[in-house]
A and B are shown apart, each in its own frame.
Chain A
Amino acid sequence: MMPRAKLKAQKVEAANALLDARAVPEGGAWITKARKAAQARVRDMGLPSKRDEYWRYTDPRRLTDAAVVQGALHDTRGEPPVFDGFDRIKLVFVDGVFDAEASDPLALAGVEICHLSQAAGTDLHWARDLYGTLDARAQAPVERPLASVNTAYATEGVLIRVTGKPEKPISLIYLRQSETSDAMVHHVIRVETGAEATILENGPIATRFNQVMEVDIADGGTLHHIRAQGRDHERAGSAHLFARLGEASHLKSFTLTANGALIRNDAIIWLDGADGSAHLAGATVGDGAFHHDDTVFVTHGAPRCESRQVFKKVLRGGAVGVFQGKILVDQIAQLTDGYQISQSLLLDENAQFLAKPELEIYADDVKCSHGSTSGEIDDNQLFYLRARGVPEDSAKTLLVLAFLAEALEEIADPDYADDLRVRLEAWFERRG
Chain B
Amino acid sequence: MLKIENLHAELEDDSEVKILKGLSLTINPGEVHAIMGPNGSGKSTLSYVLSGRDGYTVTEGSATLEGVDLLDMDPEERAAAGLFLAFQYPVEIPGVGNMTFLRTAVNAQRKARGEDELSATEFLKLIRAKAKDLQIDADMLKRPVNVGFSGGEKKRNEILQMAMLEPKMCILDETDSGLDVDAMKLVADGVNALRDAGRSFLVITHYQRLLDHIVPDVVHILSEGRIIKTGGPELALEVERNGYTDLMAEAQA
Contacts and interface: CB of A to CB of B under 8 A. Distances in A.
Interface of A: 379-381, 383-392, 394-395, 398-399, 401-406
B76 A386 contact: yes
B93 A384 contact: yes
Contacts of B104: 385, 390, 394, 398
Contacts of B144: 402
A219 to B, nearest CB: 36
Contacts of A381: 91, 93
Most buried by A among B80, B101, B161: B101
Interface string B67-108: 000000011101110000101001101111000110011101
Contact of A392 (B74, B87, B91): B74
Given A392-B74, A394-B108, A387 B52 contact: yes
A394 B112 CA distance: 13
B112 A389 contact: yes
Contacts of A403: 95
Contact of B75 (A386, A394, A399): A386
A406 B95 CA distance: 7
A391 B75 CA distance: 8
B51 A402 contact: no
B168 to A, nearest CB: 13
A398 B91 CA distance: 15
Nearest to B112: A389
A387 B93 contact: no
Given A380-B91, A383-B54, A383-B75, A388 B96 contact: no
Contacts of B80: 389
**Shortest Cβ-Cβ A-B pairs, 9 listed:** A402-B95, A389-B79, A389-B109, A405-B95, A388-B105, A386-B75, A384-B91, A402-B96, A386-B76
A406 B79 CA distance: 30
Given A398-B101, A398-B104, A401-B96, 18 more contacts: A383-B54, A383-B91, A384-B91, A385-B104, A386-B75, A387-B78, A388-B105, A388-B108, A388-B165, A389-B79, A390-B105, A391-B74, A391-B76, A398-B100, A402-B93, A402-B95, A402-B144, A403-B95
Given A386-B74, A388-B165, A392-B74, A399 B105 contact: no
Contacts of B108: 388-391, 394
Nearest to B96: A402
Contacts of A390: 76, 104-105, 108
Contacts of B52: 386-387
A394 B109 CA distance: 12
Contacts of B87: 384, 387
6 contacts: A384-B90, A385-B101, A387-B53, A389-B80, A389-B109, A391-B74
Contacts of A405: 94-95
Interface string B98-134: 0011001110110010000000000000000000000
A402 B78 CA distance: 25
A401 B94 CA distance: 10
B165 to A, nearest CB: 7
Interface residues of chain B: helix, strand, loop or mixed (majority): helix
A188 B103 CA distance: 45
A406 B144 CA distance: 12
Nearest to A404: B95
B137 to A, nearest CB: 21
A127 B76 CA distance: 59
Nearest to A383: B53
A210 to B, nearest CB: 35
A70 B95 CA distance: 39
A406 B94 CA distance: 9
Contacts of A392: 74, 76
A378 to B, nearest CB: 8
Contacts of B74: 386, 391-392
A279 to B, nearest CB: 18
Given A392-B74, A394-B104, A394-B108, A387 B95 contact: no
A365 B78 CA distance: 57
Interface string B150-193: 00000000000100010000000000000000000000000000
B105 A385 contact: yes
Nearest to A401: B95
B141 to A, nearest CB: 15
A205 B44 CA distance: 55
Nearest to A379: B54
Nearest to B106: A389
Given A384-B87, A388-B161, A390-B108, A399 B93 contact: yes
A404 B96 CA distance: 11
Given A379-B54, A394-B104, A386 B79 contact: yes
B165 A389 contact: yes
Contacts of A380: 91
Nearest to A398: B96
Nearest to A388: B105
Nearest to A395: B76
Nearest to A403: B95
A387 B75 contact: yes
Nearest to B51: A387
A401 B112 CA distance: 23
Nearest to A409: B95
A403 B93 CA distance: 10
Interface in B8-44: none
A381 B146 CA distance: 11
A406 B87 CA distance: 27
A404 B94 CA distance: 11
A285 to B, nearest CB: 15
A389 B76 contact: yes
Nearest to A380: B91
